């Protein structure tokens, strides 16, 4: 069987799907449009000029062509999975549709944040992790997946109580500052990394403004997954703030599950899942008044094996591709 995955894999989550398919003896290929770069400085300069003076992003157009060219090289596929297809132009979707017997979409962002109604007709099946979209559009519900190797808590020696990593977002930064003050008062050891191009302003401000919270680490570049996992291993719990206009479970939940880390979140819906255990998961209220140091001082309660398996990448690929 030939299966192709098409995505913009910025955080390198999608590549795990391809690796898992190959483990199962499937001829799998990943067309990662996020890996496309300018050939040289001249091409980069030309694109900058085009964006500023012509309002046209040549790099985006070249990424679209990159998908078409890659498909032509690998030939027709039995199945193609497109992750977050709204970023792909209609002309490219036509080519994708003609190059497979079964065309699948997976939306791991909400339709409210990234509308995709205009291209849904290209797909035989659409999966979504967002409960609201599943109810409204009749999508197939599937959660994100646990892609990590199981590492029991007793093999780790955490130094922090709580750790958080996120892309730059003003709303979440404001919440982080408020939460950080609560944690400081309770003597809870906490660190957060905020990554993204817009972080440079806050990083510069941090140098001169002593009032800015010091346990918030602003970084301009992307953080490699290997570094993220090392940081997770040094903490007893992982924090996650839910995005606005989005309902569903982030990858953070499953990373915590694989590493047997406690989980702190403002996602109220998490209590409806079968893995929910108040000993492991703290659901924050709006003013963070329910956070207590005792939550971090008790041991992680291990999940039953059958529940753990439901959220693994093994189970995910079997369900999506009908293996």
pLDDT in tens, 85-110: 998 999 999 999 999 999 999 998 88
Contacts of 289 (CB under 8 A, 6+ apart): 182
Least confident of 64-68, 214-218, 316-320: 214-218
Helical residues (DSSP H) of the chain, grouped into ranges:
15-23, 41-49, 58-74, 90-98, 131-137, 170-185, 199-208, 225-233, 251-258, 294-297, 305-310, 313-321
Query: Residues 298, 191, 274, CA angle at the centre, nearest 5°?
Result: 45
Beta strands at 77-83 and 2-7: parallel, antiparallel or unpaired:
parallel
Pick the more confident residue, 105 or 191: 105
Dist CA 205 CA 51 (whole Å): 29
What percent of the chain stands above pLDDT 90?
Answer: 54
Q: How is residue 129 annotated by DSSP?
A: S
H or E element that contains 80: strand 77-83
pLDDT of residue 220: 64
Report the pLDDT value the prediction gives residue 101, as an integer from 0 to 100. Answer: 95
Rounded mean pLDDT of 52-73? 75
Which pLDDT score, from 0 to 100, does residue 56 have?
54
pLDDT for residue 247 is more than 80: no
pTM of this prediction? Answer: 0.81
Is the pLDDT score of 203 beyond 60? no
pLDDT of residue 219: 65
Q: Check residue 34 and report its DSSP letter.
A: G
**CB-CB neighbours of 186 under 10 Å:** 14
């Amino acid at each position: 069987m030939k299966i192709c995955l098409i995505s913009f894999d910025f955080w390198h989550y999608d590549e795990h799907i391809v690796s898992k398919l190959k483990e199962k003896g499937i001829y799998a290929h990943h067309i990662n449009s996020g890996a496309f770069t300018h050939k040289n400085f001249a091409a980069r300069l030309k694109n900058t000029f085009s964006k500023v003076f012509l309002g046209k992003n040549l790099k985006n157009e070249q990424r679209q062509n990159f998908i078409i060219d890659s498909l032509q090289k690998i030939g027709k596929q039995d199945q193609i999975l497109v992750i977050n297809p709204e970023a792909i132009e209609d002309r490219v979707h036509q080519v994708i549709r003609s190059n497979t017997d079964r065309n699948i979409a997976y939306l791991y962002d909400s339709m409210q944040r990234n509308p995709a109604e205009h291209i849904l007709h290209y797909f035989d099946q659409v999966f979504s992790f967002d409960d609201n979209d599943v109810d409204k559009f009749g999508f197939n519900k599937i959660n994100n997946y646990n892609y990590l190797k199981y590492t029991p808590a007793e093999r780790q020696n955490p130094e922090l109580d709580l750790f958080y990593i996120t892309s730059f977002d003003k709303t979440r930064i404001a919440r982080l500052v408020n939460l950080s003050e609560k944690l400081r008062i309770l003597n809870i050891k906490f660190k957060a990394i905020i990554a993204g191009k817009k972080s440079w302003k806050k990083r510069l401000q941090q140098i001169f403004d002593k009032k800015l919270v010091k346990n918030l680490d602003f970084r301009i570049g992307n953080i490699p997954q290997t570094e993220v996992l090392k940081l997770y291993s040094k903490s007893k719990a992982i924090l996650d703030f839910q995005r606005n206009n989005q309902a569903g479970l982030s990858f953070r939940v499953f990373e915590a599950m694989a590493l047997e880390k406690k989980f702190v979140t403002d996602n109220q819906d998490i209590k409806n899942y079968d893995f929910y255990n108040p000993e492991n998961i703290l659901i924050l209220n709006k003013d963070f008044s329910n956070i207590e140091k005792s939550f971090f001082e008790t041991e992680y309660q291990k999940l039953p094996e059958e529940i753990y398996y439901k959220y693994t990448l093994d189970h995910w690929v079997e369900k999506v591709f009908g293996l």
